[in-house]
Amino acid sequence: MSYKGAVSPTVKVVRFHELGSADVLKLEEVPLPEPGPGEVRLRVEAFGLNRAESVFRQGRYFYQPKLPSLIGYEAAGVVEAVGEGVDAGLIGQRRSTVPAFPADKYGVYGEVAIVPAYALAAYPERLTAEEGTSIWMQYLTAYGALVQHGHVGAGDFVVISAASSSVGLAAIEIVKAEGGVSIATTRTAAKKAELLALGADHVVVTDDEDVVVRVNEITAGKGARVIFDPVAGPWVDKLAQAASRGGLIVLYGALGGVATPFPLVAAMVKSLVLRGYTVADVLSDPTKRAIAEKYVYDKVEAGVFKPRIAKTFTLKDVVAAHKYLESNEQVGKVVVTVP
């Protein structure tokens, strides 16, 4: 079931036919897709970019692309058609997508997106589409690690690696909301002032400062109880040295691109817990997901969480958007708008 009235028989979507750099992304004209059972068609107004999509495009993600492949997890728009078994009352409703579907089956880059109905979520009406597509991946990822697993509370010191990413900024806001003390890390001094302005309690510039020394100074020698890291690799050894006794290190990425040695000595001496984690941990459990989505929605609605958009691009410039994402210049979310 869909909107009444004329609908173009073709639409533009982004696909790639080979693995590789951002240049493999192609904006193509395809027949208007129809939703199958349990699916909806979303008329996309904006979509957000994530590091997961960059590594998926290169064939280095948990899922391997089935070429030619669609791409993308997060979009905001209006539901214009529903498949069998889906409430027709959704038609005409503004929704965004939660990254609760496999990357090799669905994709949201384009004028329309077919997604499972269960992946839709309402976002606060006061948000723009650009803001609406900038909340779920970042806040749910940080929430699951810091609140559901880390139980961050008053006075807890939390190290947030690669803090200028959208997930990193969400983590800073969540730590503050839970009463903790955030220690953000960034490679260069260029982003330090901005991270402080966005709420980080402390910023460690790792090109210029020793993270272990600085964390010990900030925590009066106690170390950080929770560490939230997407880099991994040899960096984990430094993080283990900066952790408190009984500390938790949550690894949610491997941006370092190299093997991650286990910091055995520090783990044994300090009784550390190292936990691998992705947002699927939250989204695969209906009860966890409901609690997490309400937490995010309520705090965004109240203005406690304010999604930050680093830069916007238009659909025809999606390749440039991916290149900007991979430049590491951004502080916040990279968003593509769809005319």
Task: Give the integer Cα–Cα distance in Å for 185 and 132.
Answer: 27
Task: Give the integer Cα–Cα distance in Å for 141 and 151.
Answer: 14
4 pLDDT more than 80: no
Equal fold, 10-135+307-337 vs 138-281: no
At 13, list the tokens: 């979507």
Phi, psi of 73 (to 5 degrees): -110, -40
Helical residues (DSSP H) of the chain, grouped into ranges:
51-57, 129-132, 136-143, 166-177, 192-197, 211-218, 235-242, 264-270, 280-283, 286-301, 318-327
Task: Give the integer Cα–Cα distance in Å for 136 and 176.
Answer: 18
5 pLDDT more than 80: no
pLDDT score for 6: 52
CATH T-level fold of 138-281: Rossmann fold (3.40.50)
Stretch 318-322: mean pLDDT, rounded?
Answer: 98
- Tens-place pLDDT, residues 270-313: 999 999 999 999 999 999 999 999 999 999 999 999 999 999 99
3 pLDDT more than 70: no
pLDDT score for 109: 98
Chain mean pLDDT for the chain: 96
CATH T-level fold of 10-135+307-337: Quinone Oxidoreductase; Chain A, domain 1 (3.90.180)
Phi, psi of 225 (to 5 degrees): -75, -35
pLDDT score for 20: 97
Task: Give the integer Cα–Cα distance in Å for 45 and 299.
Answer: 23
pLDDT score for 256: 82
Task: Give the integer Cα–Cα distance in Å for 123 and 15.
Answer: 27
Residues 6+ away with beta carbon under 8 Å from 255: 51, 162, 230, 231, 232
Stretch 309-322: mean pLDDT, rounded?
Answer: 98
Min mean pLDDT across 22-36, 250-264, 279-293 is at 250-264
Domains in the chain: boundaries: 10-135+307-337, 138-281
- Tens-place pLDDT, residues 192-206: 999 999 999 999 999
Task: Give the integer Cα–Cα distance in Å for 250 and 273.
Answer: 8
Residue 282 near residue 292, CB atoms below 8 Å: yes
Residue 90 near residue 2, CB atoms below 8 Å: no
Stretch 15-41: mean pLDDT, rounded?
Answer: 98
68 pLDDT more than 60: yes
pLDDT score for 257: 82
Q: Band of the pLDDT at 255, cuts 50, 70, 90?
A: confident
The three-class DSSP label of residue 170 is helix
Cα 107 to chain centroid distance, Å, stands at 15
At 234, list the tokens: 């040899």
Could you tell me the pTM of the whole model?
Answer: 0.94
Residue type at 66 in one-letter notation: K
